[in-house]
A and B are shown apart, each in its own frame.
Chain A
Amino acid sequence: MSEAQVTKSQAVIVRDPGHTAMQLEDVAVSFNGRVAVRDATFDIAKNRVTSLIGPSGSGKTTLLRALNRLHDLTPGAKVSGRIVLEGTDIYRGDMTVTELRTRVGMVFQRPNPFPTMSIYDNVVSGLRFNGIKKKSLLDEAAETSLRSAALWDSVESRLKVAASNLSGGEQQRLCIARALAMDPEVLLMDEPTSALDPIATLKIEELMTTLKERVTIIIVTHNMQQAARISDDCAFLLMGEDRAGELIEFDTTEKIFNNPNDPRTLDYTLGRFG
């Protein structure tokens, strides 16, 4: 049954390969043998926002973190299946984890600017980690990224101030700028607005819509309206009977919210559970 569904979804989604940023084939993540998420097969389209939705425990965040190999450091974590970035398998191909992470950036649930660094140092930290020292280059990257994160105007005069002086929403946009400074192809966002107030949330959402012109965005969100508002494609995950999350349906956001194939998807998006 699930096979038929996947083909059906892909029939709608399939584009020519040049338009695919990442491909997931039968991806599963387990911790010490306990499966946390499985059966994830879908293509992430370039320059679109893809949202991962589903109730708590459905493995959204676990799946997202597999996309830039953040599970590597967790003892007992195992990722199986294939995750392909521009033709290279990110786990088995000849791509170092460092290179992968410079190409697939990440923004976390809570704003996490480096507390001992200034605003400027935070933005260019990724470049510095990767050995870039030339001042003119760093200056340019800092300005461009802060502009892209809609933060430049409010911090231009205080770049040397500690990042912890910014408000929560500004800190999160700083984290976005920090990720953008690496000029990534894909930006992973793990519930980036869950710790923010509605106005700060709105700013981040507006940002995503403009950012997708230059970077592919994959976002995990608990907020159904947010997924409906900002995402183009949508993956719905659900916890199975053995407490492992699995992909129920992947399609365009419009289809997922209006006319999904699986009745459980409809139940969830209508707020009947979860």
Chain B
Amino acid sequence: MNDLTQLEEPTEIDQSMREEIRRVSHATRARRLLISRVMTTLCALTLAVTAVPLVLLLFQLIKRGAPELTWTFFTKVPETPSLIAPNATGGLSNAILGSIALNIYAAILAIPVGVLVGVYLAESLSKFASALRIIAQTMAGAPSILMGLFAFSFVLQDLHVGFSAIAGSFALAVLMLPVIIIATEIAVLNVPNTLREAGLALGAKPHKVSMRVVIPSALTGIVTGCILAISRAIGETAPVLLVIGGGYLNTWKPLSPVSALPLSIYENAKSEWPSQRAQVWGAALLLVIFVFILSLTARIWASRKQKVSN
């Protein structure tokens, strides 16, 4: 009891110490609040610096591109303007069709191989797998013109296939491969080991476990990776530049020369006719729309599947 009363009555030293603590912590709080405000302002400023060019770009793209997206743009092949008809640019239907065909063929070539290699990398511990992984990672960072050169020398010169959609698809497939391989490997590695063990413990052979348990469980990541690979490939100019031949006809035949949206942008931007240079914005806007749809699909797919598995 005595002890308690003593405690309630602070000595003078206690009092001054308490005040000191109060004063210092108050000062610290004030200083931290100031730093916090300065930092928040800085963050907001850097955000503005980053966002402004992006927004301006998008604004410019829509402002100049949207008027170009006419019925003719989608349905007609290109024409060369003349002095009599300086605005007769025709449309870019060949390039739209070409871009879609190129990417579909490229996806058909790249996805099965990429997924299988990715699964192999994730499930194998061999030295060969590690070597393959390093190659895939290096290829993911390689300049895309390299794929074009490779397709040119391999498909055109060695295999004697002419300028064609399939040559371009080959280049794009090589470009997609590392993206698909790496995404698949990560998705497969993320499948909990206990699921593999559960499969094995039921007497399943390892390849059955991969096919029926691991790949279905990793499907979200694999599909997302494939979609992102396609959306990367669709905007690439360099790989297709040398090999697709820039055909002026509406065709999706693998062995015919085709055009592609990025190639049209590259060609038309050099044109002497203002009308053709204006058309570039339409093609650019359409490409951005394609990429936007693809990445949106990837996001929706990923979130939808997550809900199911949780």
Contacts and interface: CB of A to CB of B under 8 A. Distances in A.
B212 to A, nearest CB: 7
Interface string A90-128: 000000001111100110101011111100000001101
B204 A106 contact: no
A63 B164 CA distance: 61
A182 interface: yes
Interface stretch (A11-19, A67-75, A202-210, A241-249): A67-75
Contacts of B310: 164
Contacts of B125: 75
B162 to A, nearest CB: 45
Contacts, number: 79
Contacts of B198: 106, 108, 112-114, 175, 178
B197 A115 contact: no
B306 to A, nearest CB: 11
A164 B203 CA distance: 22
Contacts of A162: 308-309
Contacts of A273: none
B32 interface: no
B67 interface: no
Given A125-B202, A164-B309, A116 B192 contact: no
A112 B198 CA distance: 7
Contacts of A75: 125
Interface residues of A, number: 30
B200 A70 contact: yes
B216 A70 contact: no
> Per DSSP, are chain B's interface residues mostly helix, strand or loop, or mixed?
helix
B204 A126 contact: yes
A215 interface: no
Interface in B200-250: 200-206, 208-209, 212-213, 216-217, 219
B255 to A, nearest CB: 40
A154 interface: no
A179 interface: yes
B190 to A, nearest CB: 12
Contacts of A129: 199, 202-205, 208-209, 212
Contacts of A128: 212
B201 A130 contact: no
A119 to B, nearest CB: 14
Contact of B201 (A105, A117, A164): A105
B195 interface: yes
B194 interface: yes
11 contacts: A70-B201, A99-B203, A108-B194, A110-B194, A114-B198, A114-B199, A125-B202, A126-B204, A129-B208, A129-B209, A178-B202
Interface of B: 125, 192, 194-195, 197-206, 208-209, 212-213, 216-217, 219, 308-310
Q: What are the nearest 5 A-B pairs in CB distance?
A: A126-B202, A129-B204, A102-B203, A106-B201, A116-B216
Given A105-B202, A115-B195, A178-B202, 13 more contacts: A68-B201, A75-B125, A98-B203, A98-B205, A101-B203, A108-B198, A114-B199, A116-B219, A125-B212, A126-B202, A129-B202, A162-B308, A178-B198
